[in-house]
A and B are shown apart, each in its own frame.
Chain A
Amino acid sequence: MFENLTDKLQAVFKRLGKRGILREADVEEVLREIRLALLEADVHYKVVKDFVGRIRERAIGAEITKSLSPAQQVVKIVHAELIETLGQPGRLELKGPAPYVLMLVGLQGSGKTTMVAKLSRHLKKGGHLPLMVAGDTYRPAAIRQLEVLGRQLEMPVYSEGQHVPPPKICANSVREARQRGYDVVILDTAGRLQIDDEMMGELEAVKRAVNPVETLLVADAMTGQEAVNVAAGFNERVGLTGLILTKVDGDARGGAAISMRAVTGVPIKFLGTGEKTDALEVFHPDRLASRVLGMGDVLTLIERAESTFDQEQAEHLERKIREASFDLEDFLDQFQQIRQMGPLSQLLGMVPGLSQMMDDVSPEVTDQQFKRIEAIILSMTPEERRNPRVFNASRKRRVARGSGTTVQEVNALLKQFRQMQQVMKQMGKGKRGLRGVMRLFG
């Protein structure tokens, strides 16, 4: 299987052998790949259908910008559309008279109890006084779990044990909060299936009793096609105001988020990103969109590359490669341009798989190492940079001393450069041109 959508599309375009304006027939094949990628990411079948329809409209006739390959261009359209579907990140709406009641609902095992603790901690940091409420009287030790979390956080938990009906516990907890000056009440509820009529009825009763400002569906990022039914089911019975996606720290693509957004229209408010109570993140639509497409944050990278590499420099470089006159001076130029795009460690993080590609350059390319490479080249004379063949032991020693590195490091760099020259020579012969070189750099 291919790594991600960009790779797949690249393969399609290669087969098509076309550049320039996208034609309708090409678009259909591209759309098929988009469709499969989204389905693999667990986006619901019907949501994908609508989505692909919108992409079709945007992609046909779209002009390809010169700095992007057709594949990248299509991915950019898909990405933009995904971000639109995911919507803006929602904030907690704490409006009206305090105490503000937040009610967490969801299936069994989605992570509600942990999320109550995380939200509580988050709100306390924001200057609120939250009260956590143990409203799950069904699951064995659920109350105790919340009490333990409360102790760990040194924050209050309201509980009446497991023999009082949850609507009553919740109503009492709000009264308690009002009396004792807590301004936010966070209700834990038992996990339940959206088709369990009796249990959903109980949830409606809780809602009537406490009139929450937020009713948040807590859903596992790993959820499959069911996400649509779950979100629709809860929304119908209790009227959701937001979504919280949990277990985002795993490797699930998180297409469920798109499905749930599509059927409920309510904003995604938070992401749970770990087991500890501080592992709570605000939702970024662009990052989740990239993740759904299985491509890291490669779009930010594309955009940065577009703004960093100007056309003239690119042509100059392409000529140099074709003439096989690429020297250490150009090497330094390239390094410096890439560094302008941001810290290297961050750039590498945006491209899944890139670090493996860079393996033969250096096992762990860090910003530190980049600086050392720069220092070594800067310590060379212009003649040495243009013609590294003049290097002998004494020159190497001088450069090492001048750059505060060792002869071994100088040797390693020269070796890397020679390898790179060879690759470029081969590329110069072929017609891959600049784009191939840029790919070499990342």
Chain B
Amino acid sequence: MAKKKLKVRASGKKGYAVIKAILFHPMETGLRKSKETGQVIPAHYIQEVFVKHNDAEVIKVNMGIAVSKNPYLSVEVDGAEKGDAITIGWLDNLGESASADVKVS
């Protein structure tokens, strides 16, 4: 099975859902030097994260190099009820992307 790129959970509350996600990513800043070679390690980090509720985009998160490795993200969506579809997708500076769909539980 392919390595998991993100882990998402959407919990239904009264009138809204709390979405918590971990996006698996090195979030390399491009400002570090390799200890062995002395070369700068190229930047490789998530830049954009999309959160959709029943296919409509509700939140767009823009990230920079200061977000920690394996970014943790928690957001909340009004009107999201049990059974609704939540999608989170990310896109990084090298064009890599991944997404996951979950139902509000």
The answer to whether A and B interact is no
Chain A interface residues (CB < 8 Å from chain B):
none
Chain B interface residues toward A at CB < 8 A: none
